[in-house]
Each structure stands twice: as structure tokens, then as C-alpha cells.
Amino acid sequence: MPIRRRDRAAATGSDDVPSTRRRDALLAADLQDVSPLLRAAPALAAIGLVTLADLLSGSSTYLAPLMVVVPSVAALTLRPRELLMTCLLGLLVMFALNRYYDRVTAPSDSRFLFGATISYIVLSAFSAFVAELRMRRAAAFAAVSSVAEAAQRALLSQPDPVVGPLRLSVRYVSAADAARIGGDLYSVLDTPHGTRVLVGDVRGKGLGAVQTAAVVLGAFREAAYDEERLPDVAARIEASMHRHVADGEFTTALFAEFHASGPVDLVHLGHVPPIRVHADGRVEELEAADPWLPLGLGDLATDGAPCSTAVPFGPQEVLVLCTDGVIEAKGRRSGAFYPLAERVGPLVKDGWRSLTDLDTAVARLYADLLAHTGGGLGDDALLLLITRPAPSAR
């Protein structure tokens, strides 16, 4: 049965962005996707509260001039024209309270009312200027943020759901920081030497981390086709980092090489070990017998070199690769790290059955991660699920 290529936006899990990320994105865009009435709600609430306070305090207490708080509140969420209209409403309410409830008639009260009105008008004009300035800065921030994230998305090109003998499902979420970019990276390539996978995590965040990720991925996409041995691929990337990345920067990495059948070869360079999930839900953490230093720190070793380890991998098993943003995600209440090895078995054990089941498995695992953290992530998180069905099932 032919396998259709899925929509890439769906494969990245864009529909499952946490609510906190959605909220932060709207704030970064200056609430452009929120209705005017909702944006005006804080200022309207201020008008209502001042009115209620004046009414409850009695006509002998003169609280209507407190309406001067309305322009300042409106400047936080409204556009300049919306702000002026809301401030005009506040001014009319203040006049109505003065005339029909507080009954300001004494000359001294009239002078006070005149001063309060002038102050209100001046503050409204200044608040409109502040709102315009806020909108321009928010637009500039949104532009920079979206360009940075688009650059990272282009760098981490989404692999097809089937690459060589493998079925894949990926869930990648950037951290909810200002730039929304980080250093998690992955790539899956079908080469003459087998289907090769790289998952890595660059030290740090921001544009520097993306630059390092670009160096690592670019070197991998060349070396994976040229080098026959997987450790030699890692050595090529190491050399490239020494040429193009500042001293002291490093990238943890895990390399995997798959063939049509047989074991999977793994090279551990300081990265989170993968997890093999059997069809019955049993879990094995594939720790390296002889792990090596992260990419960029290889020159610290006096002798030796990274080596590969062959691990059995059958057609009814799921290999789970991730970055430390997953295993170091803290619980909202307990503060404990996410127990991936304890949770992953029942969540992904049926992923080997089909591409749909594999997508469902990664969605369940990601949803469980968000439930653990309370809906948001403090670091980049990458989940890559891999299966290799029997040749007759492909």
C-alpha cells in the first residue's frame, strides 16, 4: 500500500503548541489577533471600577477624577485610535458622575473639575503616543522573532515520514524565550552506507547556537555520504567545528546508522542515550559502553577515538531519541525532571504498527510531557521516534 507524504506543518506538530506559547506569540505581536473589545477590557474595567467606587462612596465623596487612571491602563493594550475612543468614554462618564451624582456646583469644585479634565486630556494624548511607540517596538520584535524562527525551521528541514527502511515521526518545539530559537538539531539521510541519523544539542541558545548547528548539520550532510564508517563521520564534523566554531563551544550528539535489517550502530558523544521500546512496552536505555566527548571537545582526549556500538533493533520495536530539553523538563508542582524512561513504554509501544500509530505515539508522549510541566517548556525539546518495519510491511 503506497504511503502518501504528509503535510509538513502537521508533522511538526504545529497544532499542538502549548497554550503558553500561543499566548506569548500573541503578546509578541502586540495582541494583533485579539478583538478590540477584548483589548479594551482592562480600560473598560478601570472605568467601571472608578464608577462603582464613586457610587458606593456616596455623593459626599468626590472620586470621579480617579478616572485619570484610564489612559494609562489603555496604553498597555490599545491602539492609539482605540485608546482615544476609550478615553473619551471615560471622560463622558466622569462628567456624568460630576453632574448627576456628585453634583459639583461650588466654584472651588468647578476649578478642581477643570484641572482634572485638563490633566485627563493631556494624559490621554500622551498615552496615545506611548501606545504608538509600543506598537512599533512590538512589530519590530515580532519581525525579528519570526525571521529567527524561520531560519531555524529552514535549517532543521523536516524529513519525510519514510526515509530508506525507516519510518519517522518528529516533534520539535523551540523554547518560549525572546528569540524562540535554540540549539537542538537533527537530520536523517539515506546514504550509500545506510540510513544515518544525527540528533544533537548545541551549548547555549540564540543566533550563536543556530550558527553552530548550521556548521554541524552542514558537515554531517556532506560526511554522511562520503565516509564509510560512522565514527569517521563524527571525526569530520569535529574537524569542521574546530575550523568554524569558537573555542569552548560544543555540541552533544548521537549518531545512528540503520540498514535494511540487522542491528543499529550507535555513536554516543555525550548525548542523551536513546531508548528502545519493545512491543510489550518493555524499555531499555541504550547507554554507551564507551562514550566519547561532545563534538568540539575531542582535542581534550589524549588518545583514542569515538567508536560505534551495534544494538539489536527489530521490526516491532520503537527507538526513541530526544534532547535534554525532554528529560530535564521540570514538573510544575514537584520540580522533578520528566521521567522519560518510566513513561515512554506504554505511550509508544504500538508505534511500530503504522505511520499513523507512530504519529499517535509521538503525540501522546509530547502531551504527557506537557502535562508534567503544566503546559510549557523552558528549553528546546526534540522527540524523534524511529521504527523499521519488516521488508514485507513496507
Per-residue pLDDT reduced to its tens digit, 111-127: 667 778 898 999 999 99
Does residue 214 contact residue 151 with C-beta atoms inside 8 Å? no
CA distances from 273 to 3, 252, 281, 321 (A): 30, 11, 18, 7
State residue 260's pLDDT score: 93
Q: Which three cell numbers stand for residue 330?
A: 521540570
Residue 360 bridge partners (DSSP)? none
pTM: 0.69
Confidence of residue 23 (pLDDT cuts 50, 70, 90): low
Output DSSP code: residue 52. Answer: H
Q: Which helix (H) or strand (E) holds 368?
A: helix 355-373
On the 0-12 / 13-18 / 19+ scale of CB atoms within 10 A, 33 is exposed
Pairing of strands 283-285, 381-387: unpaired
Output DSSP code: residue 268. Answer: E
Give the SS3 label for residue 7: coil
Please tell me the distance from the alpha carbon of residue 134 to that of residue 140, in angstroms, as a whole number.
10
Which of the residue ranges 125-139, 163-177, 193-207, 211-225 would you say has the lowest mean pLDDT? 163-177
Q: Is the pLDDT of residue 78 over 50?
A: yes
For 290-316, the pLDDT digits (tens) are 888 999 998 888 777 889 999 999 999
- Tell me the residue type at 244: H
Q: Which three cell numbers stand for residue 16?
A: 499542538
For 319-376, the pLDDT digits (tens) are 999 999 999 999 888 889 999 999 999 999 999 999 999 999 999 999 999 999 988 7
| Percent residues over pLDDT 90 in the chain | 53
Quickly tell me which residue has 510549557 as its cell: 376
Max mean pLDDT among 36-50, 132-146, 284-298, 350-364 falls in 350-364
For 168-210, the pLDDT digits (tens) are 999 988 764 544 556 789 999 999 999 999 999 998 776 777 7
For the chain, the maximum distance between any two Cα atoms, rounded to a whole number of angstroms, is 97
Quickly tell me which residue has 518545539 as its cell: 173
Q: Is the pLDDT of residue 145 over 80?
A: no
Does residue 367 contact residue 163 with C-beta atoms inside 8 Å? no
State residue 318's pLDDT score: 97
| Extended beta strands in 215-349, E state | 251-258, 264-269, 275-277, 283-285, 309-311, 318-322
Q: Is the pLDDT of residue 10 over 60?
A: no
State residue 94's pLDDT score: 87
Phi, psi of 309, rounded to the nearest 5 degrees: -125, 130
Average pLDDT over residues 136-162: 73
Please tell me the distance from the alpha carbon of residue 185 to that of residue 200, in angstroms, as a whole number.
5
Output DSSP code: residue 333. Answer: T
Confidence of residue 55 (pLDDT cuts 50, 70, 90): confident
Burial of 163-178, coded b for 16+ CB within 10 Å and e otherwise, reads: bbbbbbbbbbbbbbee
Confidence of residue 250 (pLDDT cuts 50, 70, 90): very high
